[in-house]
């Protein structure tokens, strides 16, 4: 079909968003998980059954225009993902992902030039912030073998754990780690060999090489958690100074840790966290006062921690968490009060924690977890009653696999994070 279907595109509020005169409107409604579009056309995108990845033209000229419409008002449930196909989008190259997640949304984009690339004509209230590509590799680092260590183990994009790498930086346990700057990792805080809490940090580049100690910022503590949020940002939160705390510290895209932010939510330690959704994060579980808890605290895409939300699943501490499946997370294992457990709890892209899933693999606690291979996760190491180097892979649908015989030195109270855009 060619010609004009309508003269204006309307927002869901009824106000005019843009003029669409002169566009060719394609009368076949797109329902698949992928679609390739052409300049000069308008398209109806129906995501009732699935997310849809829209591939833009590989070449464009200034003034080229494309319009996409949420046909079934379901983009809030099943988003569209823009693949800019080698061209820039809002000034970012195509290693970045752009997602639109608002029901009833219309998207009208015009190509400007090689610098800015495709630009929306209207600055609607939409989820159009670029999202850094997902990391392909992971790194486990530090921990206790009976004495503190600084060794690391790299994980490739297939989830294969490599042999020990001689440690760099102060040996310690009870630290936390998160991705930052998109494709790098950061280890920070913990307990040193003298049992003293520290606030120093160690950066890992996008090849997994750990740098020397950098003097820390913020209150020294251990048994805290960390997670990525926003675009290339991270947050460290909770832990113990000898007393439970709920303070947090934000990390910028250069790996610089900011001063303490007054805590929100119940002070606790033995907690875990990970990113989920689009630029958001979650912290949950842990030990508070005299017992384990299952409560959660959600983190916005600007690093603000929300108040306590009643927990789901078995209360436990010394737990691990990682992102998987592009926009979801999984909590797993931990200490349930009378011993280790192997159960998991999935987190959807809205931050809702699901009920317990019967565990797979050896029950253990004081382990670590990270995403890998862009959409999968891995749990590793921990205490089974003795130090362990076992790992368990998680599929992109959140299914935990059986134990994999450990590689590297068995240890607990370590940390892990994703790094590298390259497989």
Residue range 159-170: average pLDDT? 93
Kindly write down the DSSP assignment for every residue of 207-250, as one continuous string. T-PBPPPB---S---BS-EEEEETTTEEEEE--BSSSB---EEE
Domains of the chain and any CATH numbers: 8-131 (2.60.120.640), 137-419 (2.120.10.80)
CB 105 within 8 A of CB 75: yes
pTM assigned to the model: 0.74
pLDDT tens per residue across span 67-118: 999 998 889 889 999 999 999 999 999 888 899 988 888 899 999 999 999 9
Cα–Cα nearest to 329, from 251, 275, 271, 394: 275
Distance CA 77, CA 50 (A): 9
pLDDT tens per residue across span 368-401: 999 999 999 999 999 999 999 999 999 999 999 9
Cα–Cα nearest to 321, from 272, 364, 383: 272
Q: Decide the pairing of beta strands 118-120 and 106-111.
A: antiparallel
Quick check: 162 pLDDT over 90? yes
- Planar angle of CA 49, 371, 149, nearest 5 degrees: 170
The burial of 380, by beta-carbon neighbours within 10 Å (0-12 exposed, 13-18 middle, 19 or more buried), is given as: buried
CB 96 within 8 A of CB 85: no
Q: How many CB atoms lie within 10 A of CB 292?
A: 21
Kindly write down the DSSP assignment for every residue of 357-370, as one continuous string. B---S--BBS-EEE
Residues belonging to the chain: 423
**Which residues, 6+ apart, have CB-to-CB distance to 328 below 8 Å?**
276, 346, 347, 348, 349, 398
Please report the pLDDT score of residue 107 as a whole number: 92
Please tell me whether residue 67 adopts helix, strand or coil conformation. Answer: strand
């Amino acid at each position: 079909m060619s010609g004009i279907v309508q003269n204006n595109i309307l927002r869901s509020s009824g106000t005019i968003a843009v003029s669409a005169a002169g566009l060719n409107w394609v009368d076949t409604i797109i329902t698949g998980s992928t679609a390739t579009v052409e300049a000069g056309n308008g398209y109806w995108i129906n995501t009732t059954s699935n997310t849809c990845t829209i591939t833009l033209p590989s070449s464009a000229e200034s003034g080229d225009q494309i319009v996409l419409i949420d046909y079934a008002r379901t983009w809030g449930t099943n988003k569209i993902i823009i693949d800019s196909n080698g061209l820039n989008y809002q000034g970012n190259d195509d290693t970045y992902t752009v997602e639109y997640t608002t029901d009833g949304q219309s998207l009208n984009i015009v190509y400007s030039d090689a610098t800015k690339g495709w630009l929306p004509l209207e600055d609607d209230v939409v989820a159009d912030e670029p999202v850094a590509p997902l990391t392909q590799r992971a790194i486990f680092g530090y921990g206790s073998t009976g004495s503190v260590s600084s060794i690391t183990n790299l994980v490739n994009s297939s989830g294969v754990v490599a042999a020990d790498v001689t440690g760099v930086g102060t040996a310690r346990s009870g630290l936390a780690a998160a991705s930052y700057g998109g494709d790098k990792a950061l280890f920070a805080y913990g307990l040193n060999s003298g049992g003293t809490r520290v606030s120093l940090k160690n950066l890992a580049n996008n090849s997994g090489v750990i740098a020397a100690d950098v003097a820390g910022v913020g209150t020294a503590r251990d048994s805290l958690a960390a997670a990525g949020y926003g675009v290339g940002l991270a947050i460290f939160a909770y832990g113990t100074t000898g007393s439970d705390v709920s303070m947090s510290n934000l990390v910028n895209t250069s790996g610089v840790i900011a001063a303490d932010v007054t805590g929100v939510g119940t002070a606790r330690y033995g907690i875990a966290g990970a990113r989920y959704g689009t630029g958001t994060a979650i912290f949950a579980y842990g030990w508070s006062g005299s017992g384990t808890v299952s409560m959660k605290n959600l983190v916005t895409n600007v690093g603000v921690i929300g108040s306590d939300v009643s927990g789901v699943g078995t209360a436990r501490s010394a737990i691990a968490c990682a992102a998987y499946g592009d926009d979801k997370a999984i909590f797993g294992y931990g200490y349930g009060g009378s011993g280790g457990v192997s159960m998991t709890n999935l987190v959807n892209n809205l931050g809702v924690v699901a009920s317990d899933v019967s565990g797979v693999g050896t029950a253990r606690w004081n382990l670590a977890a990270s995403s890998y291979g862009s959409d999968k996760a891995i749990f590793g190491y921990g205490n089974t009653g003795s130090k362990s180097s076992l790992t368990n892979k998680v599929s992109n649908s959140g299914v935990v696999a059986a134990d994999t015989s450990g590689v590297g030195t068995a240890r607990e109270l370590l940390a892990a994070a994703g790094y590298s855009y390259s497989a």
